[in-house]
Amino acid sequence: MNWVLRRGLTRLLVPLGLALLALALATAVVYLFGVIRPRQDPLLMLDLQSNYVAYEVSRAGAATVALRGGWVLRAPDCLDPQPGAPTPLAALLAPAQGARVEYIWGPQTVSLRYSAGAGTGGRFLTVMRDGQRDCGLDGRPFTVILPHAALEAMAPLPILGTGQIGSETIEVALPRDIPPVLLPAGDGAATIAATASAGNYLHGGTVSVYGRASRADEQTVFRVSDADFQIPRGSRVDFGIGATGQDGGAPDVLRGTAILDPEGRGLAVQALTNASDVQVKTSTSVTTFAAGAVVTAVSDPTIAPLLLFVASFIFLFPTLITIYQLVATRE
């Protein structure tokens, strides 16, 4: 009787011990995995269509816009305004570090609006014209209006810093009849009747996730398959919330450009940023991005040989044992 009990106990204890051993080994593997592949902040590629982009300049030197064919409605004295008519402008627009830059799409035009950023006063923009003295601007926002044709002839508009794409605010202003802004076009033959867009909303877009390779070259990125996000219409994509910059400027968290969307959905924005710097705000929620550790690990080219090794081992080890057993029983 005693013997039977002891045998039963042993039968129970052995699998239990093996289970514990497997548990310990699995924990060690996960730990080792963490050592080999430290947690990386995935890289995001934003591909968005939006009526509105706003950012605070993190690198003044790279945020300069070479402007041709623009119009200024309320030009300051240093831009030689023509009384009662829009002032044409061809100039280099150089925003100051920390200045707020907005690109506002309209059905006929795109407005570039420059203003002082939060916490930065003084001069926010320098307008440079050929053979003219620099025109420094402070105080009220400064707006340049570009007909679509003029924008298409320019280099993509830079986006460098922290800010937002789209807006989730529900407009409550009572609809009013606002007369269009008349801009001369071409050689003055026709005029453009410019109207504002229905709202500064985001039309939609996708965010692709790229993992960063864990070893060797830090700069290596790789595509994480099936890790694309759709951004719903009407959201606000915020970048750089809570990030702190250096030298008083905004942190350099988003690098990208905006052009006129060929399909008429506002401005087409393409930009790179880190996943931890981006939040998507819909009218009811705030969302952040994350790419699963396993998903990124599977796609990581520097990890792939290790995974291949493990997979081969798992396949080969039982196979070899089975072959050995077959040979042994035949003898």
List contacts with another protein (CB under 8 A): 52, 54, 73, 102, 104, 106, 109, 111, 113, 115-116, 118, 139-141, 143, 145, 166-174, 176, 178, 181, 194-196, 199-201, 236, 281, 283-284, 286
Q: Min. distance of Cβ 59 from another protein in angstroms?
A: 21
* Residue found under tokens 């290790």: 306
Contact status, residue 103 vs residue 261, Cβ threshold 8 Å: no
How many angstroms separate the CA atoms of 162 and 59, rounded? 11
CB of 89 to another protein, least distance (A): 15
Nearer to another protein, 92 or 193 (CB): 193
Backbone phi, psi, residue 215, to 5°: -120, 180
Comparing CB distances to another protein, the nearer of 41 and 171 is 171
| DSSP label at residue 140 | S
- Taking the least distance from each CB to another protein, the nearer of 151 and 181 is 181
In the complex, minimum distance from the CB of residue 187 to another protein, in angstroms, rounded to a whole number = 23
Q: How far is the CB of 300 from another protein (least distance, A)?
A: 33
Residue 313: its H or E element: helix 304-330
> Considering the complex, what minimum distance in angstroms separates the CB of residue 206 from another protein?
22
Environment class of 149 (CB within 10 Å of its CB; exposed 0-12, middle 13-18, buried 19+): middle
Answer whether 247's CB lies under 8 Å from 60's CB. no
Closer to another protein at the Cβ: 75 or 116? 116
d(CA 205, CA 230): 6
Nearest residue (CB) to another protein, 72 versus 160:
72
State residue 218 phi and psi, 5-degree precision.
-65, -25
Q: How far is the CB of 255 from another protein (least distance, A)?
A: 21
Q: CA-CA distance, 103 to 118, in Å (whole number)?
A: 17
Residue among 106 and 211 whose Cβ is closer to another protein: 106
